[in-house]
Amino acid sequence: MNDIVSNVLRYCLFAGIAVLATGLILSEQEYGDWIMRAGVLILIASPFAGVLTAYVCLIAEKDWKWVKIATVLTALILVFLVVSLLRN
Contact positions vs other proteins (CB under 8 A): 1-3, 5-7, 9-10, 12-13, 16-17, 20-21, 23-24, 27, 33, 36-37, 39-41, 43-48, 50-51, 54, 58, 65-66, 69-70, 72-73, 76-77, 79-81, 83-85, 88
Closest distance to other proteins from the beta carbon of 3 (Å):
6
CB of residue 14 to other proteins, shortest distance in Å: 9
Q: Which is nearest to 58 in space by CA: 46, 47, 49, 69?
A: 69
Residue 52 Cα distances to 30, 59, 62, 87, 88, angstroms = 35, 11, 15, 25, 26
